[in-house]
Amino acid sequence: MTGASTSRQDLPVGANPFSRRAVLAIVLIGGALLLALLWMVGTGAGMGSINDGQAQVGSKGLTGYAAMADYLERRGYALRRVRNEGALNAPGLLVLTPPPFADGKAIEKIVAAHRHTGPTLVIGPKWVESRPQADEKAVKTGWVRLSGTQAPTWKNFLDEVTVAIGPISRGQTANWRGMGISGSLPDRRAVLSGRGGDLVPLIVASDGRVLAAFLDDGGSYSGLEKLAARRPTLEVQDERLQPLIIVFEPDLLNNYGMARPQSAELAERLVRAAGVSPGGPVLFDLTLNGLGQSANLLTLAFTPPFLAATLCLLLAAVVTGWRAFLRFGPPFMPDRAIAFGKLALVANAAGLMRRSGRLHLLANPYADRARERLAQALALPSALDAEAAGHAIDRALASRRPDAEPFTALVERLKAARGPHDLLKAARDLHALERMLIR
């Protein structure tokens, strides 16, 4: 019976089982996943889709405004979907899409606070949505059924304005006109309109009902006055008060209406008339639709003025990780701060001579000690002086190595050396000669 032999490679004690590349890959992947997790927690990304079928910017159903937002983004506007109430006061056009039973005081508070920062566009709700039946085929996420209509009841917001839902009058086409363009409505059976003494019409239906208007309350009207369906003489009382535009009929701008190119053109004309050019900010509110998020520490960490401290901490973490990576592997045993015995004496003496800058003073003592050792090894008479002993050493060297440099020549070269390099080279040559003669 024969046994199979297996070879194995034992790792030395203290060796690391991972290579530098493996550890670097683990650290980089782990760091990237950690940053992604922090970003998701801070921004709310990946925490649920906002395509819920409601009449808001993230919805892709008939009543949503995803098409309008996508169109404005493609036209170059800096569009933001705002889920934090504190960010609603940022500069730019604020678009509000409140549900029918939203709190009117909350709408009034948001509008009043933003109108000193930028224009505001409020789109009214009309449709009552319901989810498609489970057995229906080819139904995508966010799609809805239109099961009825409901006029908004926003008490304490524009109470002087009244709204009504009704069909287009008989004999009239389901069209709208205003702001230099015209188009058709997707459903003539239910049209939401508004009326009030301070409303200046922008879009009217074929039967004369007001579908979109701006509020004449003494604020700045930018280019809205020239685009109004009727052009009154407006008196500006407060230049800081930005315009408030109300779109009563949501089918002018929602996904249901944006299937028509005239609605897309109307959306951009409203944004431009409000004073926002391509590249300017457009803010779509999600807080009134129940999709708001409160600010957390992670969100604050990546917003000024805390962003500077966060960047400093990240930079410090990178530097610390890089230093740890350079030290990868088992630690080396450090040298003793104070060496044992003679080694410590020699090291201290050498350090003292080097710091004093008197290295050339070592030449004569080193040559004398070398001469004494050689004279003793060659059994030369002790009565010989330094010159005679040097010549005797030269004769002994010539008998063994005729081609070698004489001892006296090496001594002279050692004494003539001034720089550390020359002094060390001459001392090494003299030491080599000494070892050769003593062996």
Q: How far apart are CA 93 and CA 276, in angstroms?
A: 7
Nearest C-alpha neighbor of 78 from the set 66, 91, 88: 91
Q: What is the pLDDT of residues 121-172, one digit of tens each?
A: 999 999 998 887 766 677 778 788 888 899 999 999 999 999 999 998 887 8
Q: Can you tell me the mean pLDDT for 279-302? A: 81
260 pLDDT tier (thresholds 50, 70, 90): very high
**Comparing 18 with 304, which gets the higher pLDDT?**
304
How far, in Å, are 165, 240, 381, 396, 408 from residue 386 at the CA level? 127, 105, 11, 15, 10
Mean pLDDT estimate for the chain: 83
Nearest C-alpha neighbor of 162 from the set 170, 154, 173: 154
The enclosing H or E element of 34 equals helix 20-43
The pair of structure tokens assigned to 423 is 């002094």
How far, in Å, are 307, 352, 438 from residue 286 at the CA level? 25, 77, 96
Instruction: Tell me how crowded residue 380 is: count the other CB atoms within 10 A of its CB.
Output: 17
Q: How far apart are CA 365 and CA 101, in angstroms?
A: 105
**Comparing 437 with 127, which gets the higher pLDDT?**
127
Beta-carbon contacts of residue 148 (< 8 Å; ≥ 6 apart): 127, 128
Residue carrying structure tokens 């036209």: 75
Cβ–Cβ under 8 Å, residues 132 and 143: yes
Average the pLDDT over each of 108-112, 207-211, 309-313 and give the range with the smallest value.
309-313
Q: Can you tell me the mean pLDDT for 7-14? A: 48
Cβ–Cβ under 8 Å, residues 364 and 415: yes
- The pLDDT value given to residue 1: 42
DSSP annotation of 47 reads: S
Q: How far apart are CA 82 and CA 97, in angstroms?
A: 12
Residue carrying structure tokens 């001392």: 427
C-alpha torsion angle, residues 291, 295, 300, 303 (rounded to 10): 40
Instruction: Tell me how crowded residue 84 is: count the other CB atoms within 10 A of its CB.
Output: 15
Check pLDDT > 60 for residue 201.
yes
- What type of residue is 127? W
The enclosing H or E element of 29 equals helix 20-43
Q: What is the pLDDT of residues 336-370, one digit of tens each?
A: 666 667 777 777 777 777 777 777 778 888 888 88
3 pLDDT tier (thresholds 50, 70, 90): very low
Q: How far apart are CA 50 and CA 44, in angstroms?
A: 11
- The pLDDT value given to residue 69: 95
**Comparing 10 with 293, which gets the higher pLDDT?**
293
Element counts in the chain: helices (H) and strands (E): 12, 13
- What type of residue is 396? A
